[in-house]
């Protein structure tokens, strides 16, 4: 093989990822989850359910569905909590993605947003996004955070650990959970 041809192959290999020619990234399948919660009817502002009876020990995962305005809590793949949420408005949207809980603080006040109370805060980013207790109403009331009823925030705070994964999406299980 000529030197020019080898150089061409080397350039192609170097540029392939930028051109989208690299091998596709592994798509993570949706986790196998089950619910034991008796919700009864769709949740409205301020509503939540929590039940850990007969649920085995295991890792905790939190899923936030921005479109449905719901937060789901799973332990060992079993749903143990669900809450109505408030989120950021279009001009300060709640970010989507996968976030580890970076910090917990039960009596937190925002240094970014004028000392706003953020009870039972679970920090998701160092840029001011967290899950925390809030007056949960139908209107937008956060600066991009995920607000949950304060009573639910207290329970979630007791169960969540630094490092637990939080997935924030716009379309979690659209038809499965009201």
- Catalytic residues, which ones? 132, 145
Question: CA torsion angle for 122, 41, 53, 161 (degrees, to 10)?
Answer: -10
Which class for 81: exposed (0-12), middle (13-18), buried (19 or more C-beta within 10 A)?
A: buried
Distance of CA 83 to CAs 89, 120, 168, Å? 19, 15, 14
Place of tokens 């290999």: 13
Distance of CA 172 to CAs 53, 65, 68, 85, Å? 24, 5, 8, 14
42 is written with which tokens? 């769709």
């Amino acid at each position: 093989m000529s030197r020019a041809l080898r150089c061409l192959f080397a350039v192609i290999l170097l540029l392939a990822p930028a051109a989208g020619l690299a091998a596709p990234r592994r798509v993570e399948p949706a986790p196998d989850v089950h619910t034991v919660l008796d919700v009864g009817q769709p949740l409205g502002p301020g509503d939540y359910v929590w039940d850990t009876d007969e649920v085995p020990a295991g890792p905790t995962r939190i899923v936030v569905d921005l479109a449905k305005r719901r937060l789901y809590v799973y332990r060992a793949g079993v749903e143990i909590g669900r809450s109505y949420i408030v989120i950021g408005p279009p001009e300060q949207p709640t970010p989507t993605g996968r976030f580890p809980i970076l910090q917990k603080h039960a009596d937190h006040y925002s240094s970014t947003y004028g000392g706003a109370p953020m009870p039972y805060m679970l920090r998701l980013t160092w840029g001011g996004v967290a899950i925390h207790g809030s007056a949960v109403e139908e209107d937008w009331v956060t600066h991009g955070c995920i607000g949950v009823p304060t009573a639910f925030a207290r329970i979630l705070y007791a169960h969540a650990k630094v490092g637990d994964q939080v997935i924030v999406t716009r379309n979690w299980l659209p038809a499965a959970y009201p």
